[in-house]
Structure 1
């Protein structure tokens, strides 16, 4: 793999991205969005974007929050299971629609309608901003060929 210029080495821009992420996390907490749901959003977008760095980081963080390994293992096929709550399903569908905008050019009305049915306005905003944030982080890591950190297993 070709070594790339690391986009994280632009401290002012990286700090601004980190500040956006911190605001998203704060908005989610203030709106009462479960932290594990927000991590599932990060995981699903990172799967779609093929971001190994983010998948590695967020799978570890999600497990540390007490998420079931089984749910992470089947996340890519979430529609075929009954393992995810109504809110999680709506968040995952929204994540997929927003992440695939280049192909779909829209968030379908049924996806939006379900999301606003199960989330308050503030919760919806927090989830949507999480999708925006993780897609941005994925683009930083994938474009930079960010290596996985060294650690045991």
Structure 2
């Protein structure tokens, strides 16, 4: 079997889609898409990156800011403190090779998100990481529509 030969089972697709939808409910759609873009960049998921860049544009995100998501640390005031906190938490949860997510990231996010928003943000980051891993494991190409059964 090759990586592209397997299909994502319908029940897995539906369950993950449900988690994704629920996670996004308490969050600003533009901020959510910035998080989805950053996680997809880190995970090298071309399928998800392509999709979430399009969705970010649909929600009114500018090309200039999208161009800088990968370098948000150095982008100055192009991203708000709230957005930077969300992007930092995204990186902390996505890149676990250095150990646990630092408490400082939770504390920073807690300054900009109430408890409900923070729980939804964490769930959204976990969901996009799951999607990224599914699509990368299957080597799903941008725009491909036949990847689940």
Taking the TM superposition and a 5 Å limit, the aligned residue runs for 1:2-151 are: 4-8=4-8, 10-26=9-25, 28=26, 33-81=27-75, 82-101=77-96, 103-149=97-143
Length-normalised TM-score, structure 2: 0.90
SS in 1 for 2:4: coil
- The offset of 1:3, in angstroms, is 5.3
Query: CA separation in 1, counterparts of 2:64 and 2:48?
Result: 19
- The offset of 1:115, in angstroms, is 0.5
Query: CA separation in 2, counterparts of 1:125 and 1:99?
Result: 16
Aligned length: 142
SS in 2 for 1:104: coil
| Structure 1, unpaired ranges of 5+ | none
- The offset of 1:67, in angstroms, is 0.2
| TM-aligned CA distance change 1:78 to 1:136, over 3 Å | same
Query: CA separation in 2, counterparts of 1:127 and 1:7?
Result: 28
Please list the CA deviations of residues 26-59 of structure 1 after superposition, one character each: whole Å capped at 9, or x if unmatched: 2x2xxxx311001000000000000000000000
| Structure 1 outlier segments of 4+, above 4 Å | none
- The offset of 1:6, in angstroms, is 3.7
What is the aligned-residue RMSD (CA, Å)?
1.3
Q: Higher relative contact order by CA 8 Å / sep ≥ 6: 1 or 2?
A: 2
Query: CA separation in 1, counterparts of 2:63 and 2:99?
Result: 33
| Structure 2, unpaired ranges of 5+ | 145-149
CA contact 2:45–2:135 (8 Å) conserved in 1 = yes
